[in-house]
Amino acid sequence: MNKKNNFISYGPDDTFNFGVELSSKFKNGDIIGLIGNLAAGKTTFVKGFLKGLNYKYEVTSPTFTLVNEYEAKNKVIHIDFYREPNIKRWNNIGFSDIINDNAIIIIEWADLLLDLLPENTYKIYFEHDLKNKRKIYIK
């Protein structure tokens, strides 16, 4: 995965398509942290990512369930830290086992618990620029 990817999105379709494009660049065992404000495009990106892995069903944010699993071309585990920023709780539910699963792990609101993430986590930032324009970049 080239860590120098930068992208400008002019709407949800662009963000979705960027997710489709990036999906082919990740492999099982990769961990992706999504960082950005509300309505910045994180879940839309995940929907595109899964579409790129031939997932044909509905994709929803795990805001309330905390973790969703998707069986696509690659298994994807989709996590959301937004409603549960307590490290102890994540440790109790087996976060270390989850991220060591042989899957692609995508974590929304990753910046809320950076201490839980391994050093090799890819971080994708979503920044509002204008009403429908987003800067998306990978570090």
Q: Is the pLDDT of residue 123 over 90?
A: yes
Q: Give the H/E segment covering residue 95.
A: helix 95-99
Residues 6+ apart with CB under 8 A from 77: 67, 68, 69, 70, 98, 101, 103, 104, 105, 106
pLDDT tens track for 38-56? 888 899 999 999 999 999 9
pLDDT tens track for 2-39? 445 788 889 899 999 999 999 999 999 999 999 998 88
Q: What is the C-alpha end-to-end distance of the chain, expressed in Å?
A: 11
Question: Can you give the pLDDT at residue 4?
Answer: 53
pLDDT tens track for 76-108? 999 999 988 889 999 899 998 998 889 999 999
Query: Distance (Å, rounded) from C-alpha 58 to C-alpha 51?
Result: 10
Q: What is the pTM of this model?
A: 0.91
Residue 78 and residue 109 in contact, taking contact as beta carbons nearer than 8 Å: no
Helices (H), 2-94: 12-23, 42-52, 87-92
Q: Is the pLDDT of residue 121 over 50?
A: yes
Q: What 3-state class would DSSP assign to 105?
A: strand
Question: Can you give the pLDDT at residue 1?
Answer: 44
At the top level of CATH, the class of 6-138 is: alpha beta
pLDDT band at 129 (very low <50, low <70, confident <90, very high): confident
Residue 107 and residue 33 in contact, taking contact as beta carbons nearer than 8 Å: yes
